[in-house]
């Protein structure tokens, strides 16, 4: 057989060959069926069908590469999602920490203010109590004379709510004893009855004992005790020592 004939036969075979694609799967596999035309152009026999065997698709390597790329992209997407979730969680944790710190700081400030206020109040109460205590401990000092006796008696009368003024006491003292705490009346009816009037305001013993003011001496001649007992008696009988202008 000559070379020209072989070439002519090859051309005839290429033209006569029929390629049929059975289908493409997800792995890009294909099955191709084809038939051959007899090399004798004048032959009258019918062409025989040749069963085609599956052949590998020419792009299999590309399919594997695409599949690997898809897997890689999927993995990358999952990693991105995880990274995003981790970033969100981290941001949320940081925000919560910041809020907790702010709340703790505000609470600490409030507690500090409360403690400071409580301390200030306690200090103020302590100072007030100390001042009151010192004031209570300080007893006024009165002169040992008529003015001092009257003023001390008025202080006690004020405490015991016994009415009377400096003027009313002084006026009656000057009339009754001229300011002598040891004065005694030995000539009136009381003296005749054995109970003479004594002291600055000339009170008899029964009257002094009955109207004696607690906290003073039980002595008719004691100036302060005598004044307060007489003022107490006058308040009961006349409303006040200020209302007395004569023997009472």
The whole-number pLDDT of residue 202 equals 97
185 strand-pairing partners: 197
The whole-number pLDDT of residue 169 equals 98
DSSP character string of 24-90: --TT--B-EE-----S-TT--SPPPP-PPPPB--TTHHHHHHHHHHHHHHHHHHHHHHHHHHHHHHH
Mean pLDDT of 79-101: 89
Q: pLDDT over 90 for what percent of the chain?
A: 44
pLDDT over 60 (residue 44): no
Query: What is the DSSP-derived secondary structure letter of residue 178?
Result: T
The whole-number pLDDT of residue 248 equals 83
Band (pLDDT 50/70/90 cuts) for residue 159 is very high
pLDDT over 90 (residue 8): no
The whole-number pLDDT of residue 233 equals 97
In the chain, what is the straight-line distance between the N-terminal and C-terminal CA atoms, in Å?
182
Strongest mean pLDDT among 6-10, 31-35, 63-67, 83-87: 83-87
Mean pLDDT of 198-212: 97
Could you identify the residue written with the tokens 């702010």?
A: 102
Q: Is the pTM of this model over 0.95?
A: no
Q: Which of 150, 196, 145 is nearest to 169 (CA)?
A: 150
| 8 Å CB contact between 176 and 201 | yes
Which of residues 52 and 90 earns the better pLDDT score?
90
DSSP character string of 179-239: T-TT-EE-SSHHHHTT--EETTTTB-HHHHHHHPPTTS-S-TT-HHHHHHHHHHHHHHHHS
pLDDT over 60 (residue 43): no
Q: What pLDDT digit, counting tens, does each position of 27-42 carry?
A: 344 433 334 444 444 4
Which of residues 214 and 61 earns the better pLDDT score?
214
The whole-number pLDDT of residue 71 equals 79
Torsion of CA 96, 98, 104, 106, to 10 degrees: -120
The whole-number pLDDT of residue 12 equals 46
Strands 197-198 and 184-185: antiparallel
Q: Which of 15, 5, 19 is nearest to 37 (CA)?
A: 15
The whole-number pLDDT of residue 3 equals 42
Band (pLDDT 50/70/90 cuts) for residue 239 is very high
Q: pLDDT over 70 for what percent of the chain?
A: 71
The whole-number pLDDT of residue 68 equals 73
CA distances from 238 to 81, 164, 234, 244, 246 (A): 105, 11, 5, 7, 12
Within 8 A by CB and 6+ apart from 231, the residues are 153, 157, 162, 163, 164, 169, 201, 241
Give the separation between CA 16 and CA 40, rounded to whole angstroms.
Answer: 13
């Amino acid at each position: 057989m000559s070379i020209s004939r072989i070439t002519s036969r090859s051309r005839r075979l290429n033209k006569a060959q029929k390629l049929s694609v059975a289908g493409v799967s997800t792995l890009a596999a294909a099955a191709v069926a084809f038939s051959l035309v007899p090399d004798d152009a004048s032959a009258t026999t019918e062409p025989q069908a040749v069963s085609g065997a599956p052949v590998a698709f020419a792009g299999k390597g590309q399919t594997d590469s695409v599949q690997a790329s898809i897997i890689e992209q999927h993995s990358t997407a999952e990693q991105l999602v995880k990274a995003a979730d981790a970033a969100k969680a981290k941001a949320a944790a940081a925000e919560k920490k910041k809020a907790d710190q702010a709340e703790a700081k505000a609470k600490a400030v409030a507690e500090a203010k409360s403690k400071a206020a409580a301390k200030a109040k306690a200090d103020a109460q302590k100072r007030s109590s100390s001042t009151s205590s010192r004031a209570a401990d300080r007893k006024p000092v009165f002169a040992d004379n008529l003015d001092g006796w009257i003023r001390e008696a008025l202080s006690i009368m004020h405490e015991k709510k016994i009415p009377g003024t400096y003027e009313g006491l002084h006026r009656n003292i000057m009339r009754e004893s001229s300011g002598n705490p040891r004065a005694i009346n030995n000539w009136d009816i009381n003296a005749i009855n054995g109970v003479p009037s004594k002291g600055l305001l000339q009170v008899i013993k029964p009257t002094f004992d009955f109207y004696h003011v607690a906290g003073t001496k039980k002595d008719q001649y004691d100036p302060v005790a005598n004044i307060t007992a007489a003022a107490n008696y006058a308040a009961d009988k006349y409303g006040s020592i200020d209302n007395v202008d004569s023997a009472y």
